[in-house]
Chain A
């Protein structure tokens, strides 16, 4: 007879974190998304997962260079973030959308926080799903941009992306608390740095536990996914075993997969390689496998781009759910 025992050390539940406020919560979103709540590794028989994985599809506040296979899907809406957001939701089944305010980068267009905030308003009007708001990655400017964006979206419970150790995370935390948002706590493949930042957000900035989501960094398949995978799996296992600095849902910048040469190069740079075949099929599956691996490691929310990748990742994670 086959015997199977649950893992006794899994004593702690991952924090549940909502994104998006409906009218009942004082916002205008049509639905609210729930992340977290797990008591076991994903899809394990020890305990059911309370919430399924969620996908947020990217929108940018300006036209930018994207892999050809991605761009074909968005070419008609790339000059209009509102339309872009709508397409993501209506056509590509996004649970959420992420608006990246990349034009605010001083080296790109240096859009002012105020003008950038207008784009956020436009997107909030165009769709009623919860949204994440991303800066340009410029550590000096992001806190200003996110603070302004937080202000115009007051009460919607957006996800502010991101607080990190190399920028003024306190300013971002403050904006989240003042205007009713969540914070994405982002570190780079370092569990101890992740603990440190979470601790600072909780203790120093008083961010309540149900407003923190972690992004421990996604490296693409073939380009460090081994580090990203194991980092997430270790974080989730530590959480289940009671490390309350790590008991938060996780988010993955799955689109990093498009940086892998295999996902966009026309053919292999090496003549000894077997034929790489058409790249338009390679890109989406690179995004799928990168994301799916992290789903198994414990990731909850996926920031993605290619519609086919979104569909397959959702299908597989919901099958295992």
Chain B
């Protein structure tokens, strides 16, 4: 982004405070543009009225992220990469988390090919109310045979997740593009030998393309520049990923240098970067678990330092689970904790005899408690108190979890302890025990202190529920 204060953005807005964007004033809307929670297209007058066309274009240019944002694939599984504006997540947030593509080859037999692709497509890991997913497959042309490659692409495309086509042979890439014209795959790669032909393919089929120059940032920049001048917008950079020793250190350093230059304003190299942890399998590590660990460790360092998309091999859960969690960790927005709606939730099908518990609306806390209850078959009412997305202990210490807040949450949820249940009892987190007395007064209900860790609720219920009169 070329500007950083709402005032600068405000200059380009209609300044009528018409409210159509949902904000009370143009200035408020300008703040949203600057923190990137709003887009110019959310201001109808700016988009519709001809007299603003010039301002809109200029504003869009000023607001464009430093690192180009690129889409790969189509439909609801399409992914975006790039789009970053900062070098450190606390300075704003990182956008478009690192995307994980897993390799398949055009020499695999059809059943195995489809099975592996489906495994990528179907992967899910539940985490704080959402599913962490894997993103796509990278089809490697091992045969170097256009017909074989096209056949593999055809099969993979049917599964419907984004694809990377991997070959340095333009004829192979073209064969793949022919059978997947409308699928928007990423081409890997154009290098110093084939850039003309591959560049033409990218233009002809209007698809994103990787430019590759191993350990040569001058050459990489020259290639990217040449492509940009030819009218190719969606460029991804491959500076090379060596799997070990000095080579790996050099690769890592290249990622740092490229991203710093891009964020600092060198537009000719301000593109998303591709990392290849898959090269771990060429490092001569004989034991497959060790190779997968090394690949995962490589994925980790490049997830943190500026890899936007990567090609991986191991699909063992001990590799994929930490990979998807780390991408989530680094890319989650540090400005707002992930929170759930503050309301009364049902775990199972509770009735008037079921216990009533509360927790906080910090997503990690809520889902931990919820899964401890539901996976143990405990049917109950679970209230998520609004603590601004802070967990139980930190909120109790920081003042976001008080008896008043709990009372408030009950009132807002419309749940009446006197009418909706027969026992007029609330079970509170062990770490919020200090609220007990105050809550008894404020709610006029019996307050029982539960265990410190919700994982111990099943045992606690056996001993303490139903409450003795």
Chain A residues within CB distance 8 Å of chain B = 1-5, 43-45, 221-226, 229-230, 233-234, 237, 262, 268-270, 272-278, 281-282, 284-286, 288-289, 292-293, 296-297, 308, 312, 315-316, 319-321
Give the contact stretch, choosing among B35-43, B292-300, B378-386.
Answer: B292-300
A-B residue pairs in contact (CB < 8 Å), sample of 25: A1-B218, A1-B221, A4-B257, A43-B253, A221-B325, A222-B328, A226-B334, A229-B304, A230-B90, A230-B334, A233-B90, A262-B325, A270-B126, A270-B375, A274-B125, A274-B317, A277-B317, A282-B317, A285-B319, A288-B293, A288-B300, A288-B322, A289-B325, A319-B249, A321-B249
Name the CB-closest residue of A to B397. Answer: A188
B329, A225: Cβ atoms closer than 8 Å: yes
In whole angstroms, what is the CA distance A225 to B122 when docked? Answer: 26
The answer on a CB contact under 8 Å between A2 and B221 is yes
Q: A45-B253, A233-B88, A237-B88 given as contacts; is B218 within 8 A of A273 (CB)?
A: no
Q: Which of B295-336 contact A (CB under 8 A)?
A: 296-298, 300-301, 304-305, 316-319, 321-322, 325-326, 328-330, 332, 334
Of the candidates B220, B293, B371, the one whose C-beta lies within 8 Å of that of A308 is B293
Interface of B, secondary structure class, is: helix
Judging by beta carbons under 8 Å apart, are A292 and B300 in contact?
yes
- CB neighbours (8 Å) of A315 from chain B are 294
Contacts of A281 in B (CB 8 A): 289, 316, 318
Shortest beta-carbon contacts, A-B, top 6: A277-B317, A2-B217, A281-B318, A269-B375, A289-B322, A4-B257
Q: Contacts A270-B126, A277-B318; is A312 near B297 (CB within 8 Å)?
A: yes
Q: Which B residues lie within 8 Å of A222 (CB)? A: 127, 325, 328-329
Q: Which residues does chain B contribute within 8 Å of A285, judged by CB atoms?
A: 293, 296, 318-319, 322
Q: Determine, out of B21-29, B259-267, B402-410, the stretch whose residues face the partner at the interface.
A: B259-267
CB contacts (< 8 Å) of B249 on chain A: these are: 43, 319-321
Residues on B with beta carbons closer than 8 Å to the beta carbon of A293: 300, 304, 326, 329-330
Q: How far is the CB of B430 from chain A (nearest CB, A)?
A: 15
Interface presence of B256 (CB below 8 A): yes
B89 at the interface (CB under 8 A from A): yes
Q: Is the Cβ of A221 less than 8 Å from the Cβ of B90? A: no
CB distance from A48 to the nearest CB of B (A): 11
| Beta-carbon nearest neighbor of A280 in chain B | B318
Q: Please, which residues of chain B bring their CB within 8 A of the CB of A221?
A: 322, 325-326, 329
Residues in A neighbouring B220, C-beta threshold 8 A: 2
The answer on a CB contact under 8 Å between B332 and A262 is no
Q: Among the interface residues B217, B221, B322, which one has the most CB atoms of the partner chain A within 10 A?
A: B322
Q: Across the interface, do A224 and B364 meet the contact criterion of CB distance under 8 Å?
A: yes
Which of B131, B260, B364 has its CB near the most chain A CB atoms (within 10 A)? B260
Chain A residue contacts of B217, Cβ below 8 A: 2, 4
**Quick one: CB contact mask for B123-149 with A, threshold 8 Å, 1 for yes?**
111110001000000000000000000
A44-B256, A234-B90 known; A223-B301 Cβ under 8 A: no
Q: Which residues of A contact B328 (CB under 8 A)?
A: 222
How far is the CB of A74 from the nearest CB of chain B, in Å? 21
Q: In the complex, what distance in Å separates the CA atom of A312 from the CA atom of B301? A: 13
- Measured CB to CB, the closest approach of chain B to A210, in angstroms, equals 28
Q: In the docked arrangement, what's the CA distance between A203 and B231, Å?
A: 62
Contacts of B364 in A (CB 8 A): 223-224
Known: A273-B126, A293-B330. 17 other contacts (CB 8 A): A4-B257, A4-B261, A45-B256, A229-B329, A230-B90, A233-B90, A234-B88, A268-B126, A276-B321, A288-B293, A288-B296, A288-B297, A293-B304, A293-B329, A315-B294, A319-B249, A321-B249
Q: In this complex, which of A270, A274, A282 has the most chain B Cβ atoms within 10 angstroms of its Cβ?
A: A274
B284 within 8 A of A: no
Enumerate chain B residues within 8 angstroms of A316, measured Cβ to Cβ.
294, 297-298, 301
Give chain B nearest CB distance to A286 CB in angstroms. Answer: 6
Using CB atoms, name the residue of chain B closest to A274.
B123
B261 engages A270 (CB within 8 Å): no
B261 contact from A3, A226, A319, Cβ within 8 A = A3
